[in-house]
Amino acid sequence: MSDAPLDIRTTGLGKRYGDRVAVEALDLEVTRGELFGLLGPNGAGKSTTIGMLTTLVRPDSGSGEVAGFDIARSRRDVRRRIGIVFQDPTLDIHLTVAENLRFHAELYDMPRARIAPRIDDLLELLEVSERRGDLVRTLSGGLRRRVELARALLHEPQVLFLDEPTLGLDPRARATVTEQVTRLRRELGTTVVLTTHYLAEADGCDRIAVMDQGGIVALDTPAALRAAHGQGGAPAANLDEVFLAVTGRDLRDADALEPALDDARAADRNRSGRSG
């Protein structure tokens, strides 16, 4: 793994909103093909980090490269090479599944002859082929997520960003999406960065960065994190305990403690409520 090229590298990356530091001095390296998790409560800076790496949020300090291009100076080059599944739904519910994908393909300037077969392949891969002609409005939340995954992969991105990909889904749909992310990554070899506060999702990652209050407080494989942060010499039973050990707070309670920026922004984007 050590000689594999880096798909993400940041140095001292930071972002503040007014007086509030969202992300501070972030140093991060993600290797090609890695499934990398950002774990932490709402407001820890996960979404802002993803925002900066996907060129949607301009960093105030530090620098970063994604897929070999500078995230501040070569935004378009970065954008061409990444796929994003946002925390909130971003499909056009008035278009069909296939039309949503077609729209994406054109905006990402895919060679025309490749569009139709690629759409077929991805709908097949994500097991939504039979719904391709249906309006997105008629799809369940879980199916919509899978369509968003298909769309994010359409233009063959080098790095795939998933911001809370299972947020708002019921447990069964959540399991399906998690299973599919793992499978996609195995079959396509895409580098995947995902944020989550579900432990089961984080446990499937190659490495996890535990984030709290805008910074990384621990970074290692899930097994190593558990081994290092157990109590009384025994390894931690789960990542919840790891989080408790490194921050002194419970992961689930931390949400309530942090009047979160992510929350405020999500609420703003989300005023009309999640559909599905």
Partner 1 sequence: MSAAPNDTRPPRRRFERIRPELRTVRMVAWRELLIFRRNPQRLLVTLVQPLAFLLILGTGLQAAALAVGGIDYRTYIYPGVVGMAVLMPAFFAAGSVVYDREFGFLREMLAAPVDRWAIVLGKCIGGATVAALHGAVVVAAAGLVDVPYTAKIVFGLLGLAWLLGFLLVALGLVLAARARQFQSYMSLVNLVALPMLLASGALFPLSGLPNWLGVLTRLDPLAYIVDPMRRLVFPALDFSEPIAQEVWLVPSEVRVTWGDWIVPLSLELGIVTMLALAAIFGAARRFERDQ
Question: What residue ranges bind partner 1 (CB under 8 A)?
Answer: 54, 56-58, 75-77, 79-80, 84, 86, 88-95, 99, 102-104, 106-114, 151, 155-156, 268-269, 271-272, 275
Question: Do 87 and 167 meet the contact criterion of CB atoms below 8 Å apart?
Answer: yes
Least separation, in Å, of the C-beta of 252 and partner 1?
26
Least separation, in Å, of the C-beta of 98 and partner 1?
12
Q: Which CB, 104 or 174, lies closer to partner 1? A: 104
Closest to 105 (Cα-Cα) out of 40, 50, 156, 181: 156
What is the residue type of 164? E
Least separation, in Å, of the C-beta of 158 and partner 1?
10
Least separation, in Å, of the C-beta of 51 and partner 1?
8
**Terminal CA-CA length for the chain:** 40
Instruction: Tell me which H or E stretch contains 9.
Output: strand 6-17
Q: Which CB, 22 or 216, lies closer to partner 1? A: 22
Q: Which CB, 40 or 51, lies closer to partner 1? A: 51
Least separation, in Å, of the C-beta of 99 and partner 1?
7
Beta strands (DSSP E) in 75-205 are: 82-85, 159-163, 191-196
Least separation, in Å, of the C-beta of 161 and partner 1?
10
Question: Do 187 and 18 meet the contact criterion of CB atoms below 8 Å apart?
Answer: no
Q: Which CB, 17 or 253, lies closer to partner 1? A: 17
Q: Which CB, 142 or 215, lies closer to partner 1? A: 142
Q: Which CB, 96 or 247, lies closer to partner 1? A: 96
- What span, in angstroms and rounded, lies between the C-alpha atoms of 86 and 168? 12
Q: Which CB, 28 or 84, lies closer to partner 1? A: 84
**Structure-block tokens of residue 19:** 């007086």
How far is C-alpha 202 from the geometric centre of its chain's CA atoms?
11
In eight-state DSSP terms, residue 259 is -
Least separation, in Å, of the C-beta of 114 and partner 1?
5
